[in-house]
Amino acid sequence: MAPQNHTCHYNESMLFFYNNSGADDKWYSSQLILVQVVGSLFCCFILVSNAMVIAAVITNKRFHYPFYYLLANLAASDFLAGIAYVYLMFNTGELSRKLTVKEYFIRQGLLDVSLSASLANLLVIALERYISVMHWNVHSNLTKRRVTLLIVLVWAISIFMGAVPSLGWNCICNLSDCSQLAPIFSRSYLVFWSVSNLVVFLVMVVIYMRIYAYVKKKTAMLSPHTNGSINRKRTPIKLIKTVMVVLGAFVICWTPGLVVLLMDGLDCRSCKVMKLKRWLLLLAVANSVMNPCIYSYKDDEMWTTFKNLLRCIGNGTRRQRSTKANARPLSSVQDTGNSQPPSEETKNEEQDILKT
């Protein structure tokens, strides 16, 4: 093995690693400005809408169930993704080559933590739905303490997964193992990351297929005894459809990126992975944009709570403005209007002054 492979390069800038990997990630200034402007608008929507989802779950007592607590945690992971996308957009292109190793780890770590949190949340929600459906309940019997422990576990695993490259699984001391998409990440790590996420995707799809088959069978068995169709709002299938749409959007938006990461990890030089990078990033941003829209579209109660929150914000703004207006001091014209009219002597004195 070459001697340089045993030398660590922690003090080098990212330009050194981009040159080593041969990655061609040039952006035209017009492209970069367009991505930053449009991306910033999307990220603002992601931050505001997911904050509203969390606020809706907190304020509406009808959402105080395990499923909605986990859904709020999924919104929190999308909120973090919005922050990660903002940091990424303003540190990409030529700017990414000027980053230090530590700054690059932070940039990629935020993305990895948000993705891991989203994936772990969807897996926990799938298990929660499975438990509730097997007992034919709309909501599972998980206690708040267990839900809290699950949420803490989700974030602990996500933070660990995001920190793995900075903890040592990188190519800073082994330049021959560097990837193109992430020039300081080992190709072996990209293979592990992509394959593990794809396996979790498959597990969740299998779980929901089994849930859907069970619900369909159970509904068919109960229908002859209910003199008509079962009210779907009172069965677990309504919430299952919401999660299945969320999961479907997640798989569609993230699977191409994971496949490209896998190809890069397998050192596929003819795959031209760098040309696909920016479009895959756009897909990832679109996923975080879609989730709040899915919640509000598939859940009438969530949409109603959103409107109530917006009304409260609007009423609070108007009330604040009226309070400031009432507290404003009177103008000089108003003061003159409220004062006593001038006497005849004063008028005569003013006229004499004018004549002189």
Kindly report the pTM of this predicted structure: 0.80
- For residue 4, the one-letter residue type is Q
Structure tokens at 110: 């935020």
CATH code assigned at 282 = 1.20.1070.10
pLDDT in tens, 112-169: 999 999 999 988 988 888 888 877 776 777 888 999 999 999 999 999 999 999 998 9
CA gap 322, 276 in Å, rounded? 53
* Average pLDDT of the residues in 281-299: 83
DSSP 63: G
Q: For residue 228, is it within any domain?
A: no
Residue with the bigger pLDDT between 74 and 276: it is 74
Structural domain for 54, as ranges: 14-222+234-314
pLDDT-derived band at 90 (thresholds 50, 70, 90) equals confident
* 338 belongs to a structural domain: no
Is 204 a domain residue? Answer: yes
For residue 170, give the 3-state DSSP assignment.
strand
pLDDT digits 0-9 by tens, 303-332: 888 888 888 887 766 666 666 655 555 444
Q: What percent of the chain has pLDDT over 70?
A: 80
Instruction: Kindly state the average pLDDT of the residues 183-208.
Output: 90
pLDDT digits (tens, 9 = 90+) for 212-236: 888 778 777 766 655 544 454 445 6
- Domain for residue 295, yes or no? yes
Q: Is residue 350 part of a domain?
A: no
Tell me how far the alpha carbon of residue 194 is from its chain's centroid. Answer: 20
Of 25-34, 93-102, 335-344, the least confident: 335-344
Per the domain annotation, does 2 fall within a domain? no
Confidence category of residue 109, pLDDT binned at 50, 70, 90? very high
Lowest model confidence (mean pLDDT) among 38-52, 180-194, 206-220: 206-220
Please report whether residue 340 resides in a domain.
no
pLDDT given at position 351: 54
Q: Domains in the chain: how many in total?
A: 1
**Residue-level pLDDT at 302:** 85
Average pLDDT along the chain: 80
Q: What is the amino acid identity at position 279?
A: W
Ramachandran region, residue 93 (left: φ > 0; alpha: ψ -120 to 50; beta: rest): left
Tokens 């298990």 appear where? 127
Q: Look at residue 69 in the predicted model and tell me its pLDDT.
A: 92
Classify residue 346: in a domain, yes or no: no
275 vs 1: which has the higher pLDDT: 275
Check residue 225 and report its DSSP letter: G
